[in-house]
Structure 1
Amino acid sequence: MSNTFGYIRVSTKDQNEARQLAALAEYQIPRSRLFIDKQSGKDFARPAYQRLLKRLKRGDVLFVKSIDRLGRNYNEILEQWRVLTKQIGADVVVIDMPLLDTRARGDDLTGTFIADLVLQILSYVAQTERENIRQRQAEGIAAAKARGVRFGREKKPLPEGFQETVVRWRQKEMTCQQALERLEVSRSYFFTHVKQLDL
């Protein structure tokens, strides 16, 4: 007897899986067979997904909301599709793309061909979209930097008398420990800024 399973992945711990859970609810998958990962698809050591792969058997059916839940790039999606459908022998239903439903195809060669073709196209589009997002993000950051926008934490000003203390330390008028105590800074902070200022 075949079992139904569901797989959900959200890219960060801050994202909510409610949308994917709602899509899977219609298929009445028992909670014990729902697997949820809250981490980037870039990291394919996803614990829930790995547990799912161990539980799936030939003839079982896996439901996912969209094809990009299986991976973050073209090759990973294709590889996971191969593992699921060919190696394990499970059926896969991609809710957002009815053509990617391997249950109905049986031994139908045309159905298999169409599903594989659509999968390749969608995987390519998913990867291209991510690359475009990354490129637009990089361009946006570069444009912001050109406008003078600063990223990250604001640099704290050096403690009062920092340069004078460094000069005295270099001239051996005081020890390193005395300089640190006078400035009330850590050793790493002191040497990092000495190096940056090239004093």
Structure 2
Amino acid sequence: MVGEKRMPKSQRGRIGRPSAKEAASLEDRILAATWDLLLAKGARELSVERIARAAAVSKKTIYTRFHGRSDLLMRLLRRKLELEESGLHEDVDAEDFRDAFCSVGRRILAFLISAERQAIAAVLAELPDARHDAWTSTYAVGLRAIDALLAHPGAAIALANLDLATFRHALLQCLIGRAENMLRAPESDQPISEDWMKALAKLFIRHDS
């Protein structure tokens, strides 16, 4: 038709096909909107329609990137675990192994009782079939933080005669139990007890590093 603008050949066929960078950005936006809604409204209010409105995308856009609400929530959970884990490996290079032990323990405890973890727990209440996978992922995060501690130069001396495989799980179970107690009684034990971590270090560490 006269006066009709023709699309350049280089742009033909690209409508509705975002670049890899654009697609990643769009997925991040959807996950961010989902997280904000989760914190503000709770897991039960997380319908795909609400998420689409919050992310300013269509429901079709969400369904082309996620297999549904459950898949979206699990992807969000994994993303948050990855972000939370990034802060667990700091201060492991403290010169004294006891200091490193207490530092890592405090960080794992903070992770286990964080608002993020509570929001994730709300997601799991909505996804009972995903609880095992989510718990396994959370447990693995804690074990990797402890593995970083075991790389400390003083670990071999400080933990001499201990079976390290058993130590990893025993330490994490102690921290999980402590976190559960803190969540059950938040008013009476709000701060993470320094004395408790020192007592735990004394239980496991038999020699000075």
TM-score calculated relative to the size of structure 1: 0.28
Larger helix share, 1 or 2: 2
Larger strand share, 1 or 2: 1
- 1 or 2 for the larger relative contact order (CA 8 Å, sep ≥6)? 2
TM-score calculated relative to the size of structure 2: 0.27
